[in-house]
Structure 1
Amino acid sequence: MDLNLQFWKSEGKTFTQRFRHWIDILDPLLIFKSRKEIETSRTLLLTSGPDITKSLQNKKIKEAWKLSLASVNPVSGDIVPSVFRLPAFLPIIAPLELPYKQMLFSAGAVLYSASLAAFPHYIMTRCQVQSPSMQLFLKAMPGPLTATLCAFNVLVMRASELESGIEVMDSKGNIVGVSQKAGEKAVIETALCRAVMIGTAVCIPDIVLHYLKRTYVSLQHPRLCGSLRSVMVVSILGLMVPITFSWIPQLGTIQRSLIEPEIISSTEETEFFYNRGL
């Protein structure tokens, strides 16, 4: 089991633990760390002892864990290029290479989202909706629609894991097989987190501004709403990134009863582990 997965196995048992660590891992300064610094940190962690909780009391080792978690792929052990490291996370993710089927799905997702995003505005202007409750409903629609798109985007990008499965490990970190059931669970969990993260950042500002536009201040300063919406989106998204990353453990678990027979036939383990991904 990779060092990063060992860390989450020890330190990812509660939401509070995960949230505290994600705040550290998302430090933007980690983007600029060199390959040599990352390799030095990994070497230090190999000699820091088996008790990860105790090792975090040492400031130097704690910094090494932060750098490793932010910069190293826990599946392959490879160092991630700076622009793709977790502190540089962006809600819009463009894969470098896609099979033709995924390209087709992605194109469909773009057309689908563009049509649905314009639909509420079309209804309001075309039908001249006057009801405040209906206006609020239509203005809030982009949030759920965007959330649905983000979840669909994750499903498309990780379609190969749904079809082929992902590696599962026993309690000692030994790989015992590739499970399609674990792959489905990992992808669905990640899609749900992504939907909540982006959907919340889009929905809440629209609802707040719907009521704010009726106030005296808004009427006197009509441009204020546009600037305020941008600030709210950035602020809420900045908060939702560590919250949704912490919501479901990075090192996922799946029970024996849910694993394929060919995997459980070779082991007596009752619980298996997998890397959920982001």
Structure 2
Amino acid sequence: METLTKILFFLFYQIMAVELSTSINIKEPRWDQSTFEGRAKHFFTVTDPRNILLSNEQLESAHKIITDYRKGVVSPGLSEDELWRAKYIFDSAFHPDTGEKMILIGRMSAQVPMNMTITGCMMTFYKTTPAVVMWQWINQSFNAIVNYTNRSGDAPLTVSQLGTAYVSATTGAVATALGLNALTKHVSPLFGRFVPFAAVAAANCINIPLMRQRELKHGIPITDENDNRLGESTQAAQQAISQVVVSRILMASPGMAIPPFLMNHLEKKAFLRKFPWMSAPIQVGLVGFCLVFATPLCCALFPQKSSMSVSRLEPELQEKIRASHPGVERVFFNKGL
């Protein structure tokens, strides 16, 4: 019996000691990205707020595991689950095109805590002009950082381009908010609560295209299905940016549309009449609850590795691809976030 136990233990040890295969495709997400469910699972992991608490040592460890694995070197004792965990830590902190470590508050894992705080305050302090200006400015400053951090492609933006996008989006958001506030003075107070959402939607339509204007002018990298670079396309950039604008507006919708109804009801109750200072934290909490689900689900609306038919590209790019890669019918690109 003792001999059998030793044999089983030896076999178990040998099995556990088998080196992890180097054939796992970590260039792609763990789940099938052709389905909404697979993309949702992927983005629930990417936007996990706990990732912003990771130390530099943990980020560098994940970076080393993934970099080594891509070279065919497997860390001793590494399991498949540990590999995927390292990949998602790596993806949460390093830009997919440039490889640079992203600004902390610009990472997708910071979206929920940052947006719940800013959005909750925008929706609480929306009645006075100074409050509107301040919170719209803070929101657009944050959006500018997020849009720059999660841009598509590997071409840098100039200071002039960044400044133009930032000033234009902030001006557009503030002007929209103040204009709508003036129009809602003679209607139900409930409508006034939706002014921040209208301002945010308008600002997204301004901020994202301007922040990514270089992509619209010069194009973003496009590849075949095997990641062979085929050129840069402005048509692909237009599709990528329009998808991001739609996702961002829908991402903000639940957190800015549901809490106003609830707060309009709660503020008539005795509790908030007695403790009005609780209005802000309650609203921030409601927005946060909505964003925990809205952020990953709206990111999942469109595939991160988007694609389009070669026939929809610029004519000169179509000719170049058909001459050098005659079998390619679709091209792929990172749409950004």
TM range (shorter): 0.7 to 0.9
Partner of 1:24: 45
Q: Is the 2:235–2:313 Cα contact (8 Å) retained in structure 1?
A: yes
**Separation in 1, partners of 2:261, 2:179:** 17
- Structure 1 residue 160, shift from structure 2 partner: 0.7
- Structure 1 residue 45, shift from structure 2 partner: 4.8
Partner of 2:168: 108
Q: Residue type of the partner of 1:110?
A: T
Alignment TM-score, normalising by the size of structure 1: 0.80
Q: Is the 1:170–1:271 Cα contact (8 Å) retained in structure 2?
A: yes
**Separation in 1, partners of 2:217, 2:42:** 32
Distance 1:155 1:9, change over 3 A: farther
Q: Residue type of the partner of 1:269?
A: V
Give the secondary structure class of the aligned counterpart of 2:332. strand
Q: Is the 2:221–2:231 Cα contact (8 Å) retained in structure 1?
A: yes
Q: Is the 1:8–1:251 Cα contact (8 Å) retained in structure 2?
A: no
1:166 is aligned, of 216, 220, 244, to 220
Give the secondary structure class of the aligned counterpart of 2:225. coil
1:14 is aligned, of 24, 28, 35, to 35
Q: Unpaired segments of 5 or more residues in structure 2?
A: 1-23, 116-141, 149-156
Q: Does 1:69 align with 2:123?
A: no
**Separation in 2, partners of 1:171, 1:59:** 26
Structure 1 residues 42-64: Cα deviation after superposition (integer angstroms, max 9, x where no partner): 31355499xxxxxxx82222212
Superposed, which structure 2 residues align to 1:118-157 within 5 Å? 118-125=178-185, 127=186, 129=187, 134-157=188-211
Q: Residue type of the partner of 2:196?
A: P
Distance 1:24 1:31, change over 3 A: farther
Distance 1:80 1:146, change over 3 A: closer
Segment of structure 1 superposing worse, 141-150 or 4-13: 4-13
Distance 1:47 1:85, change over 3 A: farther
Distance 1:180 1:123, change over 3 A: closer
**Separation in 1, partners of 2:62, 2:84:** 14
Q: Residue type of the partner of 1:150?
A: N
Distance 1:43 1:180, change over 3 A: same
1:43 is aligned, of 64, 68, 71, to 68
Q: Residue type of the partner of 1:64?
A: A
- Structure 1 residue 189, shift from structure 2 partner: 0.9
- Structure 1 residue 229, shift from structure 2 partner: 1.0
**Separation in 1, partners of 2:85, 2:331:** 29
- Structure 1 residue 140, shift from structure 2 partner: 1.9
- Structure 1 residue 74, shift from structure 2 partner: 1.8
Distance 1:207 1:78, change over 3 A: same
- Structure 1 residue 219, shift from structure 2 partner: 4.3
Q: Is the 1:30–1:87 Cα contact (8 Å) retained in structure 2?
A: no
Q: Is the 2:62–2:90 Cα contact (8 Å) retained in structure 1?
A: no
- Structure 1 residue 230, shift from structure 2 partner: 1.6
RMSD: 3.1
Q: Unpaired segments of 5 or more residues in structure 1?
A: 50-56
**Separation in 1, partners of 2:280, 2:43:** 30
**Separation in 2, partners of 1:146, 1:87:** 20
- Structure 1 residue 88, shift from structure 2 partner: 3.3
Segment of structure 1 superposing worse, 159-168 or 253-262: 253-262
- Structure 1 residue 107, shift from structure 2 partner: 1.7
**Separation in 1, partners of 2:220, 2:144:** 22
Structure 1 residues 76-101: Cα deviation after superposition (integer angstroms, max 9, x where no partner): 33444555443234552345864435
Structure 1 residues 135-166: Cα deviation after superposition (integer angstroms, max 9, x where no partner): 33332232122122123211111011111111
Alignment TM-score, normalising by the size of structure 2: 0.67
Identity of aligned residues (%): 20
Q: Which has the higher contact order (CA 8 A, sep 6+)?
A: 1
Distance 1:12 1:110, change over 3 A: same
| Matched pairs, number | 264
Q: Residue type of the partner of 2:164?
A: L
**Separation in 2, partners of 1:252, 1:183:** 10
Q: Residue type of the partner of 1:151?
A: C
2:333 is aligned, of 269, 274, 277, to 274
Q: Is the 1:150–1:191 Cα contact (8 Å) retained in structure 2?
A: yes
